[in-house]
Structure 1
Amino acid sequence: MNQIQAISIPKLGQQAASLYQEAQRHLQEGNSTQATLLFQEIIKLQPEFALSYQGLGDIWRSQGKLSPALRCYLKVLELQPDLISADFFLDLGREFVEKEEINEAISCYSYCLKIDPTYTKSYLNLGVMWRKKGELTKAIALYQQALALEPSLHSAYFNLGNIFLEQERLDEAIIAYLETLQIQPYFESAYQNLGQALIKKERMEEAFACAIHLLPNSLLTDFVSGVFPTTISSKFTTYKTGTYLPINLKTSVKLFPPKTYNSSFHSYFRWEVYRNPETFVTQIPSGRAWGDSYSTAVINSEGLFLDELCQGSASTLAISQKLPPATPLAGTTAFLSVRGGNTYYHWMADLLPRIKLLQLADLQLEEIDFFVVNSCHLPFQRETLNLLGIPTHKIIQNSQNPHIKTSNLVVPSLPGDVGLMSPWSSQFLRESFLEKATAQGLQTPDRIYISRRNASYRRILNEEETIARLSPYGFVPIILESLSFLEQVALFANAKAIIAPHGAGLTNTVFCNPGTRLIEIFSPDMVSVNYWVVSNIIGLDYSYLIGEDLDEYITPISIPRRYYNHPLYEDIVVNLDSLVHIMHFSGMI
């Protein structure tokens, strides 16, 4: 208790001062019972001495006796207000919330505001409590007061949206969620709840877009005041207005039909030729860039967004007046972040090949001061950047600095169409990592089944039965998260037969040898050509299987079914007889 040094012994009285010092000694020795008795004795002798109430309150609080502790702290506030801060009552209120003592939490947050009427966290927490008690009007007023003090408080808009959604005030809810996303464009729950509001308004296409973290322009023009189609278009320009270097990597890939269990191909697999688009590197003096999990944007010195270098909900970024200020970076900065750059596939397919474009533009990597990526906290991110020779001290993470500005911003184009590898980007990945992986001499199975058991979505629900059916054919189940990046590369390089549900793990098929047999499993409403394209580039023997209708799946399941708001995430049930049939048909067995 540091406050003991501030005690005035003459004012306190010799006996009370002696008791207080003795109580402190007992506390330091861990004897809270004796300290409690002494604090109570001091209060009888000197009822105006605030520190005794504080000491007693601290003991009761440590014992979980929050209500008597609160009474002590309120007495401290009455006698010596400078001893207790708004933060103190905020923390105490949270403890009451954990014990579901809502009225006491309301008291704590109310005292926060008496101490500091500008403390926005108190308004927010108090609003949450009143909402729990069903007092929605009071909660709304508190969130609005918080916004009057801090207009860029995204959580206040989000909480308002939740109340409006609960009250079926759908337009107001949508407006509140859009305000939230203009301040924090990567707020996952705002996308989800906005989607719910749109479903209620039967705007299903826009709701589906929100489920995959995209905000259609129609939402902005319909619900954001003063925003029209021309408002949005006036914020964008083309990269060709600045200094850029075209890099001619345009190629075409002939796409051979996949194998499946019948002759009727999904319409996606009727594509005959893939032509990857033009590539380039542009340099932007005094440029800015934004990157998060769902959106990226590149902005020139005039504040215009370069259309071809934006992804996701860039229009929302463009109209927002509430984004956090840009972090300044000195020197030359290469912006590499991509939509989905926190995921393995988009990191490998879309982000890393941008480094090759820098090299093709005759930019020496060692002369670049900073490389901006989505994040670098995942093992595969750190490992791949290290293998490519990019030192840690040069890495800027958008997860910590979403908005950056620099005197010389260098931005390579995307390597191709979003999510599709091209021949040159595939070759870059193979040249960068394959030899390093195979040099380790790892012994790995040549027939593998890739499990998504640890994933949060797109899992095989009858996986135990699937593995049991595959086991006699020599297939070994693999959980890729348990392997390092180079171990994954070596695993796929050594594989001769692979079976897997659609997922990021199949990114590693880019490291397979030509002729490797692959069966990719989809849910009925989620078919993707990503790995079919890779297979055609590398020369793999590609087959696919579409899973069963989940609504008809009634046999006992080894993994409980979850429900998702977009087919992209839907779980899969494998028809085991069909799987064996396609294995025979493809020559895998």
Structure 2
Amino acid sequence: MEAEQWLTAAEYEAAIAQDPTNLTNYWRLGLVLLRSGEIEVAQMVWMGGLAEAQESDFADLISLLKTAADRALTYQNFAETILICDQILDLAGDRAEIHYRMAQALAQQGDYDAAIETWQQAIALQPDFAAAQIELAAIFQKFEDWQAAIDAYTAAVALTPKAELHIELGRCYLQQGQIEGAIAHFQQAAQLQPNWAVPYAEWGYALLQKDCLSEARLQLQKAIALLPTSELIQRLDRALENLQTASAATIEVEAIDLPVAPPIGFHESSATFSDAIEPAALVKLQPPKSIDSSIHFSFRFGESIELPRTFVATIPNGRFWISEDETSCACIAEDDRFLPELSPEFPIFSPGHPDSHPSQHSILKSGGLPPIEKINGSIAILASLQNHLYFHWMFEVLPRWNLLRRSGIDLEKIDYFLIPNQRSFQQETVEKLGIPQSKIIWHDHIQADRLMAPFPGCVAWMNGSTCDFLRSTFLPANPTTGKRIYISRSQAANRRVTNEAEILDLLTRYNFESVTLETLSVSEQAALFASATVVIAPHGSGLTNLVFCALKTTVIELFSPNFVYPCYWFLSNLVGLDYYYLLGEMPIGASVQHWLYPDARIEDISIDPRKLLKLMQIAGVI
């Protein structure tokens, strides 16, 4: 069903007028009308054809629609998939496989409640529908409904006894504290695939939960013998050694009373303190592409997302506080209530997420705040979370200066700028913006007669004007083009590609250049990315520079399967890049992986070169 095989509605109408007996033209005309949003007209066309149709003709219509739904799902046109499936169900009645397709599309749009209900309808129609049970189980597992996941996986494994399903069942039992039930499924997985490391690793991890150290070591050593990655083997060996020397000692932490009480509450919004620079904006989203049959949960935001308005708030006698580790901050008004938009903290949520309500802010539960540094005059807050990280600096700190400039405030009359200025990229960009060194200050809790706080948007959800500002400020006038670059994290402390030598061996065959960004200035990084036609990189701050890429540059982002964050996919949507992603491998299994890397954000990444090669082919890179 290629695009060139399809005519316009007018052409199909002409064909029908010429030969009313060719019912295929009715079916195709109806589908063309359906795709253009003329649902009732499409139905009338089909009904007109069906009035003269034989049973085989009706089957042809349903087959055409099923093929169209499959194609739409494959090409991630989820709204069209749902629309066509609805028509099939109206025409042909309940069909399990159609409910299944519709549920897949609903889930990938992020409409999980509807997806669950639709999968359940498919199972009710066809109780032996193993694929639907597996999809349903995975959704329940994702949202930590462990018993529902166990029920669905149990039904699936009875229909198709696969080792992978026993592993997932075992993990769900572990989450419920049912260790013996978990071990039973890990044992069955080992029987089904005796040369796979994961069942032994999961089995060993479960035994650790029972404090059966010697038995756990035995199973973990079986897993080690089957592992392909030497670095992972070394890491697991060290973890096993630590089991032998682990101390039961506890550390007593003395609470420190801080002198300033936390805020008494929060304002519902910052509107009374602020002047809008830009209104709220709707950003249309293109789904990411990968070798997987479905989109990862982290990218499921539907067809668009609304970004909040940007503004500059002016707060008389206002305060700004930031935690020592820069994971939480707050702008506090004179009435001792904080302003929610200007008080972000980790974890970061998408715009409008219900868990981001200010009533959940940790400052309300804190034991107190550090002493206040009071400043006479005006201060502009050019700080956000994790200011030492390149990503947050470029997308959350520098845009604050741009909003101040656009607000009409006389920058010369601002007495001080609260902005960190220790790192080389901070110093370079501050100098580029022309902020005087004599006006730069830093304190973790500061109050001013007049506090000016710009709001460029939600953390990690930058807007188009931020991208335009960075491009106009740092892009070279005439960048070269044609480079294929791989961004290495070999000098980073975490999230390194463990088999990078193997990956570089593959990429150099296709003229990729490996680059470490730590030695480059911001201007040099901007020029490098502006020259790229293809960028491949593990997830990390280096991909901030995608903002400087030319339109339609191909991007392949590499992730640990346990930490997939959508910020660079969203950035690619904003600046028009062709975005793909690849999930790394977990040769040791999820439970032991979590044991070795308790913080998923710093997990190292193991990439299967065969999968990367396949994705490069899909992306048209080779």
Deviations 1:484-532 (Å, cap 9, x if unpaired)?
Answer: 1100010001111110000000000000000111100001111111111
The partner residue of 1:564 within 597, 601, 604 is 597
Paired position in structure 2 for 1:369 = 415
For 2:424, the equivalent position in structure 1 comes to: 379
> 2:614 & 2:530 partners in 1: Cα distance?
26
Instruction: Please say if residues 318 and 447 of structure 2, whose CA atoms lie closer than 8 Å, have aligned partners that are also in contact.
Output: yes
- Cα contact 1:502–1:522 (8 A) shared by 2: yes
Q: Distance in 1 between matches of 2:539 and 2:258?
A: 34
CA distance in 2, matches of 1:481, 1:301: 42
The one-letter code matched in structure 2 to 1:416 is: G
Q: Is 1:329 aligned to 2:375, yes or no?
A: yes
Equivalent residue number for residue 473 of structure 2: 432
Cα offsets for 1:180-211 (capped at 9, x unmatched): 5x7599xxxxxxxxxxxxxxxxxxxxxxxxxx
Residue 48 of structure 1: aligned partner: none
Give the secondary-structure state (helix, strand or coil) at the position aligned to 1:473.
coil
Determine the structure 2 residue equivalent to 1:278: 309
Within the candidate set 282, 286, 295, 1:252 is matched to: 282
Tell me the residue number matched to 2:607.
Answer: 574
**Structure 1 position 168, deviation (Å):** 5.6
For residues 402-551 of structure 1, the aligned pairs below 5 Å read 402-413=444-455, 415-435=456-476, 438=477, 446-551=483-588
- Partner deviation per Cα, 1:342-380 (whole Å, 9 max, x = no partner): 10101111121111221222112222111112x211111
- Give how far 1:233 is off: 8.3
Matches within 5 A, 1:4-83: none
Q: Return 5+ residue gaps in structure 1 as ranges.
A: 1-164, 186-230, 554-560
**CA-CA distance at 1:239 after TM superposition:** 4.7
Kept in 2: contact 1:232–1:315 (CA 8 A): no
Q: Does the CA-based 8 Å contact 1:550-1:572 persist in structure 2? A: no
> Take 1:471 and 1:365, find their aligned partners in 2: how far apart are those partners?
49
Alpha-carbon shift at residue 321 of structure 1 (Å): 5.9
Q: Report the secondary structure of 1:409's partner residue.
A: strand
Contact 1:498 1:519 in 2 (8 A): yes
| Separation (CA, whole Å) in 2 of partners of 1:483 and 1:494 | 15
After TM superposition, give the deviation of residue 564 of structure 1 in Å. Answer: 2.9
Out of 388, 391, 402, the residue aligned to residue 342 of structure 1 is 388
Q: 2:298 is matched with which residue?
A: 268
- Which TM-score applies when normalising by structure 1? 0.57
SS in structure 1 of the partner of residue 588 of structure 2 = helix
Name 1:354's counterpart in structure 2.
400
Deviates more, 1:505-514 or 1:419-428: 419-428
Residue pairs, 1:46-445, within 5 angstroms: 176=253, 179-180=255-256, 183=258, 234-240=264-270, 242-271=272-301, 272-292=303-323, 293-312=326-345, 315-318=361-364, 320=366, 322-373=368-419, 375-397=420-442, 401-413=443-455, 415-435=456-476, 438=477
Fraction of identical pairs, as percent: 39
- Aligned residues of 1:249 and 1:424 also touching (Cα < 8 A): no
Contact 2:270 2:340 in 1 (8 A): no
Checking the alignment, whether the CA contact within 8 Å between 1:327 and 1:405 is kept in structure 2 is yes
User: Does the 8 A contact of 1:445 with 1:491 survive in 2?
Assistant: no
Distance 1:564 1:552, change over 3 A: closer
Residues 126-150 of structure 1, C-alpha deviations (whole Å, 9 max, x = no match)? xxxxxxxxxxxxxxxxxxxxxxxxx
1:238 shift after superposition: 3.9
Q: Does the CA contact (< 8 Å) of 1:281 and 1:412 recur in 2?
A: yes
CA deviation vs aligned residue, 1:207-231 (integer Å, no higher than 9, x gap): xxxxxxxxxxxxxxxxxxxxxxxx9
Q: Is the 8 A contact 2:344 2:459 kept in 1?
A: no
Structure 2 CA distance, aligned partners of 1:584 and 1:396?
51
In 1, Cα distance between equivalents of 2:315 and 2:364? 18
SS across alignment from 1:275: strand
Name the CA distance, whole Å, in 2 between partners of 1:562 and 1:445: 43
In 2, the alpha carbon distance for the partners of 1:259 and 1:303 equals 47
1:420: how far off? 1.6
Match of 1:97 in 2: none
CA distance in 2: counterparts of 1:431 and 1:184, whole angstroms:
45
Deviation at 1:417, TM superposition (A): 2.1
Report deviation, 1:341.
1.5
Counterpart CA distance in 1 for 2:589 and 2:553 is 34
Whether contact under 8 Å (1:289, 1:299) holds in the other structure is yes
Q: Secondary structure at the match of 1:359?
A: helix
Q: Partners in 1 of 2:329 and 2:386 — Cα distance? A: 10
State the alpha-carbon separation in 1 of the partners of residues 271 and 288 from structure 2.
42
Output the CA distance in 1 between the equivalents of 2:466 and 2:434: 18
Aligned to 1:148: none
Match for residue 23 of structure 1? none
Amino acid at match of 1:359: R
Distance 1:318 1:335, change over 3 A: farther
Partner Cα separation in structure 1 for residue 595 and residue 473 of structure 2: 38
Q: Secondary structure at the match of 1:382?
A: helix
Deviation string, structure 1 residues 392-413 (Cα, Å, up to 9, x no partner)? 221112xxx2111111111112
CA displacement at 1:234 relative to structure 2 = 3.7
Q: Distance in 2 between matches of 1:364 and 1:514?
A: 35
Aligned length: 358
CA gap 1:479/1:458 in 2 versus in 1, 3 angstroms = same
Q: Assess if the C-alpha contact under 8 Å between 2:482 and 2:531 holds in 1.
A: yes
* Counterpart residue type for residue 287 of structure 1: G
Query: Secondary structure of 2:509's match?
Result: helix
Task: Tell me by how many angstroms 1:288 deviates.
Answer: 1.3
Q: Is the 8 A contact 1:444 1:491 kept in 2?
A: no
5+ long unaligned stretches in structure 2: 1-246, 347-359
Task: Verify the 8 A CA contact 2:481 2:530 in the aligned structure 1.
Answer: no
Instruction: Identify the range of structure 1 (315-324 vs 527-536) with the bigger mean alpha-carbon deviation.
Output: 315-324
Two-structure CA RMSD over aligned residues (Å): 2.9
